[in-house]
Structure 1
Amino acid sequence: MDLEVALRENNLALLASADGSQIHLHAEKAEHVTSYVGLHAAAWMTDPKDKLLSIECRLKQLKSYTRTITRDAFVIVEGRDPDRIVLLVAHHTGSVGAVRRTIISAVAAW
């Protein structure tokens, strides 16, 4: 993956590649301080929206669903994996170019 900094805001950075891959990085956030280093949340994009709805349904069946929110032209399904790591699955309702220039506010808020 050839990633470049696409956007930087406060303690967040959005890394993006030409193929559309993205990584949101957090420096620190007091509300979510933990005693370990490592993965605290996993987020990814999905298309079409039907796939997002299928993931939402599956999380509900597994009793791992937290909520669905709409922010910044993103529909985001939040849940937990079996290890209780936060999962954020998003679908962007706008143009693809806008995705690279936007840090999802729900990701930033987490």
Structure 2
Amino acid sequence: MIPSLRSCATRFHQPSIRFIGKRQWPSAVEAPQPHPAASAEFREHFADFLKRRLRQTPSGTSERAALPDSATVYSNFWEAPSKYWNPRVRELDDWEMNSIMVRVQHWYIHKKHSSYI
């Protein structure tokens, strides 16, 4: 037992992963390019694909056709000011509170009776 402890204590574990150093992120955004494994046809038409992709919106319609000139369009809710997606006061109506309480009560009763089985 003692020789194995000595050999374990003297042997230094060399990890197989090597860290080069602190990562430096590029300061400029890289230009879009097709994936290296993409087909030759896709690589040829990548510029057309990129133009169509940038022109479209998530809903598939033109933004300017559906909205007035003064409207601001946000692709994601967190890009909008926080007053729109993070309200300070959230009031629950009575029917909302009742539905929550009924669900909690149902879960509590069901759990209580299932523990005796």
Flag whether TM exceeds 0.5 (same fold). no
Q: How high is the TM-score relative to the length of structure 2?
A: 0.19
Q: Higher strand share goes to which structure?
A: 1
* Higher Cα radius of gyration: 2
